[in-house]
């Protein structure tokens, strides 16, 4: 089944978005052996996409391995980098997880907490599509930038 030219153009626009470019940059940064060098953008981001079928294959109870934890950190690092580029203040991501895959993700700017997410079942971390992942990141980014705009003194500390 071939894609329509409109779908290909939409995917191309999505692949060139700031968030997707930053995600690829972050994934390449955690690749010590250069195995991502020959991969395309879609191949690098493929592990983040969990369709319903893929999610069904993953057990409900399980411990995340270090690769999954690294992916979670990459997602929040990319959002923090975008916050930094938008407002010019350093954004610091913090992901704290137990060995069972429960924990919390925070992003701070100065003394201001701009994102606080509870994480559950991290071994099943993923998004139904690349578009949904970008939408989630855009939501977090817009809320964070609004908080920074409302509290610039705290963010500047």
Query: pLDDT band at residue 5, thresholds of 50, 70 and 90?
Result: very low
- Name the CATH superfamily for 5-155: Protein of unknown function DUF269 (1.10.3100.20)
- Whether the CB-CB separation of 104 and 126 falls below 8 Å is answered with no
Could you give the CA distance from residue 110 to residue 156 in angstroms, rounded to a whole number? Answer: 5
Could you give the CA distance from residue 120 to residue 86 in angstroms, rounded to a whole number? Answer: 29
- Whether the CB-CB separation of 85 and 91 falls below 8 Å is answered with no
Residue 49 is predicted with a pLDDT of 93
Please state the domain extents for the chain: 5-155
Question: pLDDT tens across 42-69, in order?
Answer: 999 999 999 889 888 888 888 888 999 9
């Amino acid at each position: 089944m071939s894609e329509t030219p409109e779908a290909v153009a939409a995917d191309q626009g999505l692949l060139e978005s700031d968030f997707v470019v930053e995600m690829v940059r972050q994934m390449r940064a955690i690749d010590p052996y250069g195995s991502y060098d020959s991969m395309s953008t879609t191949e690098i981001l493929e592990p983040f996409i969990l369709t319903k079928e893929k999610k069904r294959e993953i057990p409900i109870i399980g411990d995340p391995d270090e690769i999954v934890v690294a992916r979670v950190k990459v997602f929040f690092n990319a959002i923090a980098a975008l916050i930094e580029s938008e407002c010019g203040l350093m954004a610091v991501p913090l992901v704290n997880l137990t060995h069972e895959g429960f924990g919390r993700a925070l992003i701070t700017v100065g003394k201001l907490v701009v994102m606080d997410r509870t994480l559950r079942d991290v071994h099943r971390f993923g998004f139904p599509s690349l578009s949904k992942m970008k939408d989630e990141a855009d939501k977090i980014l817009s809320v964070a930038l609004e908080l920074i705009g409302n509290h610039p003194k705290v963010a500047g500390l």
